[in-house]
Amino acid sequence: MNKTGLTPAQRGFRMPAEWEPHEGTWLSWPYNLGTWDGHLEGAEQAFADIISVLTRHESVHLLVPNAEVRLHAEAKLRERNVHATNLSFHEIESGDVWIRDYGPIFVKDARGKVAYTKWGYNAYGKPDEYADLLIGNDVPGKMPLDGFERFDTGLILEGGSIDVNGAGTLLTTESCLLSLTRNPHLDKTGIEKALGDYLGIKKVLWLSEGIAGDDTTGHVDDITRFVGETTVVTAIEEDPRDPNHKPLAENRKRLETMTDALGRSLDVIALPMPQPFDVEGRRMAATNLNFFVANGVVLVPIYDDPSDEKAIEALGKCFPDREIVGIDCRKLIWGFGSIHCATQQQPL
């Protein structure tokens, strides 16, 4: 709510689909040694690869905690011949790279005016375990967004827990948005109302849960994504012995009976999960579904697995007007996230 007393939706704002035109993309350079624990160099390489591709297509706004990290990042990016004219640095301490989850969620009205919604961030409902990440909650207020109207929701929500088709329909999981560590005072109806008020959502599609190794209690951007107003790609696990088999099968079953906000049935494209991916004995939430759709390009996380080729081929058919680029995320995944988690689009 703002001084007019009207919600963003009542003002005509909605959350655009990711494939709609961007002004640019926001990222936060990796620096937290508590997160990366011997894997920082690999995370930096993945970020350099991501930024190298993105700056060929749109502006990139990169958060760094201080001048020292900025100089280090600049050196890494020079090695990748990054287009500096499309890259802006902002010295803002973020705690971690997953700006999708603590950054602003932008909305847009029919006249093209862009504003942003500010949601609370409590480190995935684990403020004691991830106390060093709580500074992320302050990031939107420090970003150079003075030209945009701000809507404070007063609710906890990570951007990776939702995915939208830009036409009033939103995907999420019960295991995440109904978690008692986020908004215990809200039931499904209350959450749906908040999503409607602030993001212009008219229908919420509830999936069951996420994948093994995901410490967010089930972010949807790891498992099911809109690639068109009525088309979704969803992860499946064919091995019945794998812990992902049952929940992903349940999610697919639900999708096949769902309709969007306009009553249209969904076209469901199933993509196989990579083989179980362990690093130092820890199961990673490695999935090709954590891709990012930018202007003219789709960045797809790959893991040197047969699933990589299938995902790239399928997404190429979904986005025939965009280049499909695989980014090696075998090191980035150590931090419990991948490309989509590390990016946040700002609409044109």
Dihedral through CA 213, CA 219, CA 220, CA 222, nearest 10? Answer: -40
Dist. CA 149–CA 340, nearest whole Å: 25
User: Which residues fall within 8 angstroms of residue 315, CB to CB, at 6 or more apart?
Assistant: 227, 233, 291, 298, 300, 324
What's the chain's Rg over C-alpha atoms?
19
H or E segment to which residue 190 belongs: helix 188-199
Do β-strands 297-302 and 323-328 pair in parallel, antiparallel, or remain unpaired?
parallel
Supply φ then ψ for residue 82, to 5 degrees.
Answer: -65, 140
- Dihedral sign from CA coordinates of 20, 23, 27, 29: positive
E strands in the chain: 22-28, 59-64, 87-91, 105-108, 114-120, 149-156, 163-164, 169-173, 203-207, 224-228, 231-236, 267-272, 278-279, 282-283, 292-294, 297-302, 323-328, 344-347
Is there a catalytic annotation at residue 176? no
Dist. CA 215–CA 160, nearest whole Å: 12
Helices and strands in the chain, H and E counts: 9, 18
- Measure the CA angle with vertex 217, ends 213 and 221; round to 5°: 80
Active site residue ranges: 341
